[in-house]
Every structure is written in C-alpha cells, then in structure tokens.
Amino acid sequence: MTPEPVSPHLCTGDPALSSSGALRALAGLLRQLFELIESLSDEEYARKPVGVVESSVGGHVRHNLDHVAALLHGLPTGHVCYDHRGRGTDVERDRRTALDTILRLEGALFAFAWGEIPQLITLSALVAPDLPPVLAQTSPARELAFVVSHTIHHVSHTIHHNALVRVMVKALGADVPADFGYAPSTIAYKGSRLCAH
C-alpha cells in the first residue's frame, strides 16, 4: 500500500513554476504525509492534546486534505472556496481512512483534466466571521500553488500544518523524516549546499 517515493531532484535546477511543477510538489507532500501517518499507531494519530498542542495529528491532516479536496471540487465549477470544510470527520479520527484519502486525492490530482478548465476562476474567501465572503478572480495554477505554498511568513499552508504535525509526532516520541515540515526553499537551499561540494 505504500506509494513509490517521489524523488525531489534537488540538484537538477529544474524550476517548478508551472502547474505540473506545483502538482509534483503537492504529490510529494502527500506522499511524505502518507509515510509519516503510516508510522503512527491509531492512538497516536487521534490523541489530543499532544503536549502543548490542543489538537490531534489527525486534525491537521484533515485540514490539509480538505484544502486539496476543495480545490479539486471547485475547479470544474469555476468557483473555489476553502472555507466549507468538514470537522470531526473520519479522516481526523481514523488513521486508515486518512491513508486511503491521501491515495485517492493523489490519484485525483493526476487524473484531473487540468488543461480543460477555465484559466480564470472565482475564489470565495471569508475574511471576517461577520462579513460576507470576498470574491476574487484567480487562476487554477495560482490556487494549486496556494495549496502548496500559501505564503504566511513565507511558509506553505500545507507545510505550515506539516510543521505542526512534526512537533506533535516528536512529542509522541515517534520518528520524523529529516525534511518533513520544512519549506521547499529550505530543503532546496540545503540541497544546493550539498550539490556545491
């Protein structure tokens, strides 16, 4: 059931600025998340709080996967909204469901007809709980990049949550892959230093 590892190709210098590059990056994050979840017990996955973090590893995993699912659901309609997410779902509570969902979403990402959707779509976003959502024009490539690398202090949205998962898993006493939860720029920087030697 373990998927084949995705090679990061840090030394090729190949820029990942296109949708296909972002798609590979997102698939790599999902594979990394899959492998980490697979290493946890059912109890560790669902336990909360974890140390000083009030939520569970499963809660952050569910949040990440909801964003991928919202993107895939919204693109064919030309209207993407990340605000309508499920909370307390099986993905959050059940490790096996999370693993199955990652595999399903990864398959859906690569099966998706990226070339057949409009290049201009609408994003709906709540910016305050007591105001109507803001509507903005955007593109599929931009939204794919958002799911991978939404910039909040230069940290990816997905990577931001993976970084929290990293802290929680370490608090559980489990092993974490060396690069798990780090921004691609950090990994690329470390890789470029290795390639230069």
CB 196 within 8 A of CB 188: no
**Concatenated DSSP letters of 9-33:** -TTS-----SHHHHHHHHHHHHHHH
156 vs 55, higher pLDDT: 55
pLDDT of residue 192: 59
Two tokens at 95?
Answer: 């490790």
Instruction: Say which range, 32-36, 105-109, 164-168, 180-184, has the weakest mean pLDDT.
Output: 180-184
Structural domains of the chain ordered from first start: 19-195 (1.20.120.450)
Helices (H), 39-155: 42-46, 57-74, 90-93, 95-111, 140-149
Per residue in 93-117, is it b (16+ CB within 10 Å) or e — as a string?
Answer: bbbeebbebbbebbeebeebeeeeb
| Rounded distance between C-alpha atoms, residue 46 and residue 43, angstroms | 5
pLDDT of residue 151: 28
Helix 57-74 crosses helix 19-38 at what angle (to 10 degrees)?
150
What count of other Cβ atoms lies within 10 Å of the Cβ of residue 77? 12
Residue (of 8, 54, 62, 55) closest to 37 by Cα position: 62
What count of other Cβ atoms lies within 10 Å of the Cβ of residue 120? 10
pLDDT (tens digit, 9 = 90+) per residue, 30-63? Answer: 998 899 899 999 999 999 987 777 789 898 889 8
pLDDT of residue 171: 82
Instruction: Say which range, 52-61, 74-83, 110-119, has the weakest mean pLDDT.
Output: 52-61
26 vs 196, higher pLDDT: 26
pLDDT of residue 37: 94
